[in-house]
Amino acid sequence: MTGQQPIRFGTDGIRGRAGELLTPNLALSLGYWVGEVLRQTTDAPQRPFIIGQDSRNSSDMLATALAAGLTAAGFEVWNVGLCPTPCIAYLTATTEAIGGAMISASHNPPADNGIKIFGSDGSKLSPDLQKEIEAHLNAGLSLPHTEQWGHLHHRPELLQRYRHAVQAPLEDRQPLRGLRVVLDLAWGSAVSVAPTVFHALGAEVIALHDRADGDRINVNCGSTHLEPLQQAVRETRAAMGFAFDGDADRVLAVDSQGRVVDGDHILYFWGQRLQSQAQLPKDLIVATVMSNLGFERAWQARGGQLVRAAVGDQYVHAEMLRHGAMLGGEQSGHILCRHYGVGGDGLLTAVHLATLVQDSRLSLAQLRDQSFTAYPQILRNVRVEDRQRRLHWQECEPLQQMIAKAQLDMGDRGRVLVRASGTEPVIRVMVEAEQQSVADYWTETLVQTVTAHLAA
């Protein structure tokens, strides 16, 4: 590792361009040190480790190298193969596994990849364990010699355990019988399981981008490019559509008119459902700093509480545990419901939203009309290649002064959020206001400020 940039866990594991940051050597070393660090956390160190991957061309390489590091540390490795990230979280939490890893860069383009690590409870590793692993990686030491080799086992049948867990609470009554849905599988992990689950629950499925394709994963499709799904829903007269990201841990929906139903809407609908069933403690939902003010105020008008976490499902999860909340998520479509699991799960969310709509005897479009009016919200990304400038943007005085001016101008009728992305080399600028013109003005002003003082 000598001479390479320091390895850092971001908001969703280690992520970067395959072959540059994410090399076979890194994955080999990471596998070894993840194994060694996790071994210290248990009294039963011989437990297996589970690996899954998305469809990217580099995923086989990274999964193989990671498994080599783990077997060098003496671990049995179960490789599930192509599967959603929540499948690995579920299997890690419900088997004797000591931990798990998912090879994926989520919604990023095909050339990127990433490695997400899970503990034995299915949650992302704690910051302390991540720092310990980083310290070993950055030390640049050769792997210690050992003859206690582990073994690699290919276990694709484990995917069926996850599939059964998603559909089992609902399949007896086939709640989606007669429902026509369009699924955009983004050429990624969702192809391995989503159509099968929707069929099993009675739905008529129209699938887009429905095979594993490492050259096209997330390209002009999936949860970050909703246009193909919107067009297909309208043309096929489907009741609704769902778009997954590359590793299927998040989902966005569209109604029969092609209108977006984002994570805020999903939290609002699912929150109402749980509230009516007395399954939402304190009527509390955990959202993030990105969630729309219109959603927050509408939920408060129902007597609910909303707590905001930092962006990233691990931060949402932490706040849910801290407050005893059962429902939380992100506007981008990471939804966590602790009644069913410990992490964001796009397929589980899609199935439960579709079931909720069917049970309501209303269409998704009608539910959307009855929910809340979102404030105009604009999100712009400014590419900032210099890592130090990007991570220490708060020290830029001209930007801080402009943010203060914007907040003063909008008062309680809007808000500003500027942050460094944890997954891409960009500064994200979000402005939300009651009036579109105000949001437009301050977004452009702040983007220009970031460009002039950080991106130049």
Q: Please list the active-site residues.
A: 106
In contact, 255 and 226? CB cutoff 8 Å: no
DSSP assignment letter at 249: S
Distances (CA, A) of 266 to 287, 300, 335: 11, 16, 8
Q: What order do you get walking across the sheet with 240-244 strand by strand?
A: 204-208, 180-184, 240-244, 251-255, 260-261
In contact, 159 and 87? CB cutoff 8 Å: yes
Is 313 annotated as a binding-site member?
no
* CB neighbours of residue 172 within 10 Å: 8
Q: Element (H or E) spanning 439, and its range?
A: helix 436-450
Per-residue b/e over 409-422, b at no fewer than 16 CB within 10 Å? ebeeebbbbbbbbb
Handedness of CA 427, 432, 433, 436 (dihedral sign): positive
Distance of CA 387 to the CA centre of its chain: 23
Is 249 annotated as a binding-site member?
yes
Assigned token pair, 22: 């994410």
DSSP secondary structure string for all residues of 139-161? HTPPPPP------EEE-GGGHHH
Nearest in space to 11 (alpha carbons), one of 330, 228, 357: 330
Look up residue 61 and give its amino acid.
M
Q: Tell me the C-alpha distance between 204 and 358, whole Å.
A: 14
Is 245 annotated as a binding-site member?
yes
Angle, in degrees to the nearest 10, between helices 436-450 and 397-410: 170
Looking up tokens 């690996």 gives 51
Nearest in space to 304 (alpha carbons), one of 289, 321, 326, 319: 326
Non-local (6+) Cβ contacts of 144 within 8 A are none
Q: Tell me the C-alpha distance between 344 and 130, whole Å.
A: 20
Q: Tell me the C-alpha distance between 31 and 332, whole Å.
A: 30
Distances (CA, A) of 110 to 107, 130, 214, 451: 9, 26, 6, 27
Q: Tell me the C-alpha distance between 222 and 226, whole Å.
A: 6
Q: Tell me the C-alpha distance between 99 and 117, whole Å.
A: 7
Is 421 annotated as a binding-site member?
no
In contact, 333 and 264? CB cutoff 8 Å: no
Annotated binding residues for Mg(2+), as ranges? Answer: 106, 245, 247, 249
